[in-house]
Structures are given as structure tokens and as C-alpha cells.
Structure 1
Amino acid sequence: MILTQCAVCATELGLSLGKKCGRCSTRYCGAECQVQHWKEGGHDTLCKKIKKAGGAEQYHADTKYTEAVSVAVEKCAEDTKGQTCFICTQALHWKTKEGLVRGCACRGTAGFAHVSCLVEQAKLLFEEAKANNWHDKRGQASWRRWHKCSLCEQGYHSVVSCALGWACWKTYLKYSDNEVLQQLAMSRLGCGLSDADRHADAASIREAELSMLRRLEGSESSILTVQSNLANSYQMLGRLGEALRLRRDVYSGRLKLNGDQHADTLLAVTNYASCLLSLRRFGEVKSLLRKAIPVAPRVLGESDSVTLKMRGCYAEALKSDPGATLDDVREAVTTFEELERTARRVFGGAHPITKGLEKCLRDARAAFHARESDVESIREGVEAMPPGGA
């Protein structure tokens, strides 16, 4: 499903082109690469093992999940010293012997867990919902356990999100009779990879997801969501032209589908503004956000991540515009100070949102002091000039 490249030469195969190993379903661009992989690439010794694991896609997902858990545990090691899992109450997982992670907004002694325990929790909750009607609110709430902490209700981030993304995909890729569930798991994997700054991998996943969703004739709202995620990957990869076209289409689509007072539309306008900001089109950013900024706190809340990002985009445009006045830069500093305090209170100091706003605040203060010094120098120069004659 996601293995879209030849195992030997990495030629892009999409979702349906090329050949597959008849035993384990490893994918190739043609017979030549398949023979080479068997003779020289070690596939002759791996083939039975891959088949036993459930096929190439399952074997790949299991391997990547194990790697992602190891990375997450190592990354969190300093923070988790002396702590225990809030689910199983152990320091080391009884079966996998893995260490602890924490990648949400929990602070103090809360939020420490094994990735395996978080996975089991999410699986059990969703299986209960799926036995009834997993499309209802209860089912949606249980699905959120794949990407949101049950204690602080904030999203997992960075390498922990990536590990849970691989866990979600490896759990549900086998549901060949339920492609909608597969697509949801694929979406979770794409978001996890993006959270871990694996943007090229995330783009590949999201391209495959969009192709799959169109084949399934998914809803307009679902397609807009995947297009928005894909635009995020393109933007992070510097493919700004492609990202901007998608951002514009998504924003236009959300306006028509949901109106300008909807949470999804507010997210779309924020993402569109972010892309324009990357292209240094500051006037368009400010014009776009002036109407949306008063709406966001009422619809989403003052401390919602989208509200913070929206106001941050506007402040960055104020500060960075070549025509900015000293008052504009002062307003940007004041805004970033408020946003940083809010993010620290809601998400904690280690969260990527807080760290990003800290950097924006430092840059804005530096810009303000530089501009203030320039104004002061000009004033002193004017005062030092001798009076003109009659």
C-alpha cells in the first residue's frame, strides 16, 4: 500500500505498477531487479521471513515501528529517568523491555508511558468502539488516542508521534476489507512522520493517501484534509509553488464547504497565510488574517494551537515587512510575548509550539532594538545639525 518504490533501484511505482515477489509481495520495477535482489541483495534469505511476518508491507511497518520506538526512547531518556509508566506502572515494559517516553503537554510526574502501552490502550479503545459504530462520536474519541494523550488531551509530537504513527499503520494495514480504516491509519502515519521532520517520507505517504482517497471517491472534506497535509509536506521541503497552489485550493474549498466561521476554514486560512509568509508576501498575509483573527478565539479558543499560529503569522508579517514602522515591530514583540506565555502555560516549555514562539520572540526583540537604535541615531544626527541660515 505504501511501499511505492522498487526494492532494488527505488524507481517510483505508485500504488499499482511493477512486479511483486509471488511469495512475500516485495515490489520491483521489473524482472531484472527482482532477479538481482534474489541473487545479490539477500532476498533469498529474507523472503520466507518476510512472508511469515505477513508480507512485505507488514514486515516493513513492523521494522520501522521498532526503529521509531528505539529513537523515541533514546530521545526521551533524560526526561524519563526514575519515572514509571502511567498505564502499567513499570519503568521497563514487561514484554518488550523498552524504556519510557513523554511527548505531549504533560508536566511534572505525569504523562510518562511506554509506546507499547499507549498502542495497546488505543487498540483496545478503538476495538470497543468498532464493535458498535466507530463512525460516531465515541469512535472518533477513541481514535484520538492514536495521536492525543488521554491525560492532557494535547497531541503527541516529534519522535513519539512518529512511533505511534508507525504503530497505527502496522495495526490496520492488514484490514484489506476496510480501505477507509486503512486510509485513516495512513493519514496518522503521514502526520507522525511530519511531526518527526521526516517530510520527504511524509510527502510520499500523503501522495499515496490522496490517490487512494480519490479512488475510493472520498468526501470533499476528506480530500481537502489530505491536500492540506500534503501542502504542509511540500512547504517544509521548499516546494513552495506546489504548496501555495494546494493551500489556495484548500482555503477556497473550505470557504465554499464550511463558511468562514468554521474551525476547518480557520485552519486553512492560517496554513495559506503561512505559505504566503514563506514567500515573503507580507501584505497578503496581513490582509488575509485581519478578518480571521477576531473569529478564531471565539470558534477555537484563545489558547488553541491554530489561534496561536494565526496570530504568530500576523505578527511575523508585521515585523518582517520592509515597510514596517517602529510601532509595527513593537506590536509584533508584544504579540509574541503574549503568545509565548500562553503556549508555555498550555503546552509546556518543551513543546515545539512553545520553542517556535520563543525563537520568534527573540528575533522580534532583536529587530525592535535594531530599529529603535536606527531611529535614535537619526534623531541624534538631526539634533547635532547646525541651524540653517536665513
Structure 2
Amino acid sequence: MILTQCAVCATELGLTLGKKCGRCSTRYCGAACQVQHWKEGGHDKLCKPIKKAGGAEQYNANKKYTEAVAVAAEACAEDTKGQTCYICTQALHWKTKEGLVRGCACRGTAGLAHVSCLAEQAKILIAEAEENNLGAKAIHSRFQRWDKCSLCEQDYHGVVSCALGWACWKTYVGQPEGGWLRRLAMSVLGNGLFEAGHFEDALAVQEADLAMMRRLDVPEKTMLVTQGNLARTYVMLGQVEHAVRIERDIYSAELKLYGAENRQTLVSANNYASSLFKLERFDEAKSLLRRTVPLLRPFFGESHEFTLRMRSLYAKALYYDEGATLDDIREAVTTLEDVAPSARRVLGGAHPLVSLVQRDLKCARAVLAAREAEG
């Protein structure tokens, strides 16, 4: 993860505390730990290689990237067997010898690539935008290539997203701390770690990202996005009460900033509703979703992953509620029966949302059958 702890005793240093090795920038809480690391921790042998790699943060990013790519290629090995990269047309990458991955909605022989090739495409797009002074909006749009497939336009997920997160961080970690490239890369890394289920690491990255934003006095709307990502991670770590307080504040702030009919406000509404659902506050979740689900189509479209995800959440809130009426449960089943084939068609059978929707549909049908049997 991003280096925010002493290399010896793991004391939390944030982004500014402690001291660094004068040669390689490895971080310590103080002189005692630095001396111990040199004498007993092997730093005397690692210091020069770390400096040669570009410093402690770059060295760590390179190492984590290599590990994440190997994990992603292994996870995708069965799906990619006998195939070639759609970018370089080779089975094994010519330089890194890494295998192929696919973590999007592409199917068949489409979308198979090396993480290195996907990363190179993204780097080139960003570099071209900077070189030609295309402006912040164009550059931010191109930056999506780090976490979105150029063929199916769906987000990467799971271990592939994690590998691309490390690729992005590895690429821009050397940029100035206050620069937008480094900040965006930190966000991509945090999201990638989250997608792969590395929630503790994701939390550390997101907290470091938010701390840096506050120190740099970044605009509120930018910080709200990072706070939303942080809240999602708190949910996955079981700290749902903490998360729901953050999400309520984010949603309220974005209603004032953007209004209800806004893409970002809708994303925050979904996150807030999801946490309410986890706390079994079904009435609040249903009330929020009834207001927001009808607003999704103009921004995301009928078959977008986010639309499908939010509609399935609404259905779950309907049939999970012990006070649900028969009509509520029927509406839940109907909604999930509509969402399930769309999710499979758009996202592919391997996408996590597809299996979740199928499971929820099975449960909703069982609840409906039991309720109808009661007469």
C-alpha cells in the first residue's frame, strides 16, 4: 500500500510525519528505528536498489504491481487459455512475460489483454492530452481508461482492477504530491484495492488521499467523491454506522451543490441507500430509492451497470422488509426478473453483479411463494 507507516515499527505517519532515509526515502518514525533497520532489518543491502528504482514509494509500487499482475493473470488463466492480446497480438507479453487478463464485460475472444498493454494505452492517451493542451476535462475523461474497458465501456473489476490500480500508481507516483495526476492515481489505486477485496489497504490509501486533499485545500466537490469511496470501504470493514453518517452528509451536500437530478448525486444516493439497507432501515432505503431510481435512465441508460445495481437494491429493500405487502414482494420479483437478463447480457456471466442478482431473484421468488401459500 502507500507508505504511511514506519518501516520498522509500523507507527502511523500519515503523509508528513517522521523522517526519511536520505538516500532512498524509506520512512521511519525516528532515528532509532532507522538505525535498527540499517543494522538488523536488511536496509543496508536494499537501500541502493530502492534508490535506483526511484525511491521507496516507487520501489514499493513496482513490487506490488508485479505481484498484482501475477495474481490477475493466474485468476484469468482458464478464460484466456490459447488466446492472444488484442493490443499486441501476443499470448505472453514480449517484455514482462505476463499472461492475459479480462475483467470487464467483453466476451468470447474480445477484451483479452496484458495489464502492461492496457497500462501503456492509458499512459499514451494521458500524455497526448497533456502534450496537446487539451484541458482538464479531456484529460480527466481519458484518465478513465485506467479503470474502464475501451471496447465494452464497462469498469474493470476484481483482481484486474487491482492490477491496473497498481499500474496507475506506479506510473504517476513520482509526480508532485499536489499534482492532479498523482491524486487521480491514488484514487484509482484505492478503487482497485477495494475491487480486489483488500479493504484494509484500500482504507489506508483513501485516508491518505483525503488527508492530502484537505492539506491542499482541494474543492469540496472533489473531496466528496473521496469521502464516498472511504464510506464504501468502511461498510466492507463492518463499520456501517460510521459509513452511513458520512454518506448522509455527502448526499445532503450534493443535493445542495448539484440538485437531485445529477449523476454524482444519484451515485451518492445509491451508496447511502445501500448502507441503510445493511442496517435494516428498510423504510428509509425504500423512500430514498423510490425518489432516485426513476431519475437514473437519463444519466446512465436502461442497461448501465449502475442502473441495474440500483434497481436490484430497490427490489431487495422491498422483499427483505418484514412488513412488506404481497404487492411489494411481487414488485421485487418483477424487477429482478427484468434486471437479471439485462445484467447478464451487458456485463457477462462472470461479473459479480450477475450472480448476486440471480441469487436475489431466487430468494425473492421463495419469499413470494411462501407468502402466497399463506393465502
Tell me which interval the TM-score lies in, with the shorter structure as reference length.
over 0.9
**Structure 2: distance between partners of 1:139 and 1:39:** 46
TM-score normalised by L of structure 2: 0.97
Matched residue type, 1:272: Y
Structure 1 window deviating more from structure 2 (223-232 vs 303-312): it is 303-312
User: Could you say which residue in structure 1 is the equivalent of 2:46?
Assistant: 46
Quote the Cα distance in structure 1 between the aligned partners of 2:256 and 2:240. Answer: 24
SS of corresponding position for 1:294: helix
- Residues 12 and 215 of structure 1: CA distance in aligned 2, closer, same or farther (over 3 Å): same
Q: Residue 179 of structure 1 aligns with which residue?
A: 179
In the TM superposition, 1:163-178 aligns within 5 A as: 163-176=163-176
> Where does residue 97 of structure 1 map in the other structure?
97
Instruction: Check if 1:34 corresponds to 2:44.
Output: no
Question: Equivalents in 1 of 2:339, 2:34: separation in Å?
Answer: 55
Q: Distance in 1 between matches of 2:169 and 2:365?
A: 43
Q: Which amino acid aligns with 1:170?
A: K
Q: Could you give the per-residue CA deviations for residues 121-150 of structure 1, whole angstroms, max 9, x where no partner exists?
A: 111111000112353443233212111111
Paired residue secondary structure (1:346): helix
Matches within 5 A, 1:254-273: 254-273=254-273
Between 1:291-300 and 1:67-76, the stretch displaced more is 291-300
**Aligned-partner residue type, residue 171 of structure 1:** T
Q: Which amino acid aligns with 2:233?
A: S
- Give the 3-state SS of the residue equivalent to 1:78 in structure 2: helix
Where does residue 346 of structure 1 map in the other structure? 346
Preserved contact between residue 133 and residue 139 of structure 1 (Cα < 8 Å) = no
1:382 paired residue number: none
Between 1 and 2, higher relative CO (CA 8 Å, sep ≥ 6) is seen in 2
Displacement of 1:299 after TM fit?
2.9
SS at match of 2:12: coil
SS state at 1:203 partner: helix
Q: Which residue in 2 is equivalent to 1:314?
A: 314
Query: Unmatched 5+ residue regions in structure 1?
Result: 377-390
1:307 is displaced (CA, Å) by 1.7
Is 1:155 aligned with 2:160? no
TM-align CA RMSD: 1.5
TM-score of the superposed pair, with normalisation by structure 1:
0.93
Q: Distance in 1 between matches of 2:212 and 2:128?
A: 27
Shift of 1:2: 2.8
Asked if 1 retains the 8 angstrom alpha-carbon contact of 2:104 and 2:111, the reply is: yes
Distance in 2 (CA, whole Å) between partners of 1:90 and 1:178 is: 38
Which letter does structure 1 place at the counterpart of 2:73? V
Which residue of 1 is the match for residue 230 of structure 2? 230
1:296 Cα deviation after fit: 1.2
How far apart are 1:304 and its partner, in Å?
Answer: 1.9
Contact in 2 for aligned 1:104/1:157 (Cα 8 Å): yes
User: Who is 1:195 aligned against?
Assistant: 195
Contact 1:91 1:100 in 2 (8 A): yes
Within 5 Å, give how 1:213-292 maps onto structure 2.
Answer: 213-292=213-292
1:77-116 alignment, distance < 5 Å: 77-116=77-116
Aligned residue number for residue 301 of structure 2: 301
Alignment length (residue pairs): 375
Tell me the equivalent position of 1:367.
367
- State how far apart, in whole Å, the 1-side matches of 2:309 and 2:252 are: 20
Deviations 1:181-205 (A, max 9, x none): 1101100100111111111111110
1:237 and 1:336 map into 2 onto residues whose CA distance is 27
Residues 178, 216 of structure 2: 8 Å contact kept: no
* 1:45-73 deviation line (CA, Å, top 9, x unaligned): 11111111111000000000000000000
Q: Which moved more, 1:190-199 or 1:358-367?
A: 358-367
Contact 1:134 1:140 in 2 (8 A): no
1:164 deviation in Å? 0.6
**Preserved CA contact (<8 Å) 1:336 1:360:** yes
Matches within 5 A, 1:4-19: 4-19=4-19
Report the CA distance between 1:324 and its aligned residue. 1.4
Provide the identity percentage: 63
